[in-house]
């Protein structure tokens, strides 16, 4: 039927669709991915139509049996997708009619492809969100576990990528996990607005059949039918929201990736990544490249791109459905695939990070990272903070000249800059003393890190057990 006009709407046409136009307007090459959701939606629709007496029970059963067989054909790769049939919806409907005859043509009663496709995408998004939820949970759990194990591991904390103050590696990891916890909240919040049912809106204005949208919504697990038919078939803001969640998540993963890349370099030498997450160079035999984090960092770009596509796709569209919306699928599918892959990569990789504790400790010791602790020590002994700042600045200048960290100087050397300094100063100049002193909620002290990790695990557990 390649030259024929599409049977589903050909009635008012006097010439066949141009072959190029048929190919240009078809979406079946990519929307066949929605086949499972399309069949699920159709089964619920037919069930509801029988419940309200629009279809007989026999017709409903015949439709459901036919659709179930088609599902099997698709899963086994036997289904023949046809471009002239335009999209997933008409491909499945045509096959149904081929199988069960005239009853197949009754399935579309009280429905339009406009509410059908909007329903399919929302079902697809809901499944995708649930898979992403599970993967985020796995990643966060692994990250918190590593943070707990590394609660005492000291590393330099940075501002401007310059050594600032010592922190614990566990504290750094829990900073990452806080980012992910917020992303997770955004995901679950998006799910609430995804899980609303367009079906029943029909083309745009609703339908004259005595449908019961609450029945269909319940059968499909939606929280409620969409309130307004014009809005239900047209807006894709839920997809934009999902892409924006994804962009923020990938932004966070790209920051973590960047740190992993830096830390595996010889210049930092803070961690090792197991070989299975790295690749070699075809020319330089010594190389072990952190490809996985680099690729996650790179994939951030395409997800930002999809967010821009979807925002621009929706911009200025008049109510209600417009064909523009067919363009929502490819960016959405790729966003889902990319997010799931990146989360999987991270969830597998993070628990396998091997910190090089001595090297981290050495780096923290070298960078005058306890300078603020010395200033605080002087302030506790009555020196004004600005004066203390000046005294420590002179001590650091001396250390730079003599190539000595503050804790390596003798008491006499330190006393050149202030006679307020006494022997107990060395308690605050050690890295262990410095981190242990930041002992309040949100601080880097090992005890605080352990407490924060257990709170984070509790929160995850509560989410997992939530209904």
CA distance 268 to 289: 14
CA distance 222 to 147: 38
Q: Name the one residue in this structure whose structure tokens are 């919504």.
A: 217
Looking at the Cβ atoms of 91 and 163, the one nearer to ligand ARG is: 91
Asked if residue 239 binds ligand ARG (CB under 6 A), the reply is: no
The question of whether 160 is a catalytic residue gets the answer: yes
Contact with ligand ARG (CB under 6 A) among 42, 168, 244, 325:
325
The region of 291-299, 301-309, 321-329, 346-354 touching ligand ARG under the rule CB under 6 A is: 321-329
**162: which strand partners?**
159
x/- contact string, 44-83, with ligand ARG (CB under 6 A)? ----------------------------------------
CA distance 92 to 341: 30
H/E run at residue 224? strand 224-225
Active-site option among 29, 223, 265, 281: 281
Looking at the Cβ atoms of 89 and 365, the one nearer to ligand ARG is: 89
Cis geometry, peptide bond prior to residue 41 (ω within 30 degrees of 0): no
Q: How far apart are the first and last CA of the chain?
A: 50
CB of 352 to ligand ARG, least distance (A): 41
Looking at the Cβ atoms of 160 and 323, the one nearer to ligand ARG is: 323
Q: Answer whether 278's CB lies under 8 Å from 288's CB.
A: yes
For residue 157, the SS3 value is strand
Angle between helices 237-264 and 329-349 (to 10 degrees): 30
Asked if residue 150 binds ligand ARG (CB under 6 A), the reply is: no
Contact with ligand ARG (CB under 6 A) among 60, 113, 172, 213:
113
Q: Answer whether 260's CB lies under 8 Å from 270's CB.
A: no
**289: which strand partners?**
279
CA distance 256 to 279: 19
Asked if residue 326 binds ligand ARG (CB under 6 A), the reply is: yes
CA distance 116 to 58: 23
Contact with ligand ARG (CB under 6 A) among 42, 114, 190, 264:
114
CB of 15 to ligand ARG, least distance (A): 19
Both tokens assigned to 296: 């996650």
Asked if residue 93 binds ligand ARG (CB under 6 A), the reply is: no
> Taken in order 190, 466, 347, 150, is the CA torsion positive or negative?
positive
Asked if residue 117 binds ligand ARG (CB under 6 A), the reply is: yes
Asked if residue 229 binds ligand ARG (CB under 6 A), the reply is: no
Active-site option among 14, 160, 282, 440: 160
Asked if residue 122 binds ligand ARG (CB under 6 A), the reply is: no
Residues from 174 through 193 that contact ligand ARG (CB under 6 A): none
Looking at the Cβ atoms of 117 and 436, the one nearer to ligand ARG is: 117
CB of 31 to ligand ARG, least distance (A): 6
For residue 163, the SS3 value is strand
Cα–Cα distances in Å, from 70 out to 77, 96, 116, 456? 10, 7, 18, 45
Asked if residue 444 binds ligand ARG (CB under 6 A), the reply is: no
Asked if residue 17 binds ligand ARG (CB under 6 A), the reply is: no
Residues from 24 through 43 that contact ligand ARG (CB under 6 A): 27, 31
CA distance 188 to 185: 5
Q: Answer whether 157's CB lies under 8 Å from 172's CB.
A: yes
Alpha helices in 350-403 (DSSP H): 357-366, 371-380, 385-402
CB of 121 to ligand ARG, least distance (A): 8
The question of whether 395 is a catalytic residue gets the answer: no
The region of 190-198, 320-328, 370-378, 449-457 touching ligand ARG under the rule CB under 6 A is: 320-328
Looking at the Cβ atoms of 111 and 113, the one nearer to ligand ARG is: 113
Residues from 342 through 371 that contact ligand ARG (CB under 6 A): none
Please list the active-site residues.
160, 281
The residue ranges that bind ligand ARG (CB under 6 A) are 27, 31, 87, 113-114, 117, 321, 323, 325-326
């Amino acid at each position: 039927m390649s030259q024929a006009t599409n049977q589903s709407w050909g009635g008012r046409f006097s010439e066949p669709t141009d072959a190029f136009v048929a190919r240009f307007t078809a979406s079946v090459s990519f929307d066949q991915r929605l086949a499972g959701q399309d069949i699920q939606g159709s089964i619920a629709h037919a069930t509801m139509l029988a419940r309200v007496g629009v279809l007989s029970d026999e017709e409903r059963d015949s439709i459901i049996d036919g659709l179930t067989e088609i599902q099997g054909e698709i899963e086994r790769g036997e289904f023949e997708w046809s471009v002239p049939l335009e999209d997933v919806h008409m491909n499945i409907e045509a096959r149904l009619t081929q199988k069960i005859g005239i009853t197949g043509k009754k399935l579309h009663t009280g429905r339009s492809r406009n509410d059908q496709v909007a329903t399919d995408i929302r079902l697809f998004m809901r499944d995708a969100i649930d898979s992403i939820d599970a993967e985020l949970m796995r990643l966060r759990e692994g990250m918190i576990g590593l943070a707990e194990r590394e609660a005492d591991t000291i590393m330099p904390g940075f501002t401007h990528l310059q050594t600032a103050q010592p922190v614990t590696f566990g504290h750094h990891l829990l900073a990452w996990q806080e980012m992910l916890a917020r992303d997770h909240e955004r995901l679950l919040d998006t799910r609430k607005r995804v899980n609303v049912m367009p079906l029943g809106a029909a083309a745009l204005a609703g339908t004259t059949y005595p449908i019961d949208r609450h029945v269909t919504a319940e059968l499909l697990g939606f929280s409620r039918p969409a309130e307004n038919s014009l809005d239900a078939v047209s807006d894709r803001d839920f997809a934009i929201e999902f892409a924006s969640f994804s962009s923020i998540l990938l932004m966070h993963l790209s920051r973590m990736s960047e740190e992993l890349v830096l830390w595996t370099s010889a210049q930092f030498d803070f961690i090792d990544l197991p070989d299975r997450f790295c690749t070699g160079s075809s020319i330089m035999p010594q190389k072990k490249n952190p490809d996985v984090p680099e690729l996650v960092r790179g994939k951030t770009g395409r997800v930002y791109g999809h967010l821009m596509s979807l925002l621009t796709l929706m911009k200025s569209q008049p109510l209600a459905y417009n064909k523009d919306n067919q363009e929502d699928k490819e960016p959405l599918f790729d966003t889902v695939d990319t997010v799931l892959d990146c989360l999987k990569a991270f969830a597998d990789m993070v628990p396998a990070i091997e910190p090089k504790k001595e090297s981290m400790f050495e780096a923290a010791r070298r960078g005058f990272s306890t300078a603020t602790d010395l200033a605080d020590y002087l302030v506790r002994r009555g020196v004004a903070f600005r004066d203390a700042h000046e005294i420590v600045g002179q001590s650091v200048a001396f250390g730079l000249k003599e190539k000595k960290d503050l804790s390596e100087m003798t008491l006499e050397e330190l006393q050149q800059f202030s006679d307020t300094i006494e022997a107990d100063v060395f308690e605050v100049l050690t890295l262990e003393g410095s981190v242990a002193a930041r002992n309040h909620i949100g601080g880097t002290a090992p005890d605080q890190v352990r407490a924060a990790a257990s709170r984070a695990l509790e929160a995850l557990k509560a989410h997992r057990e939530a209904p």
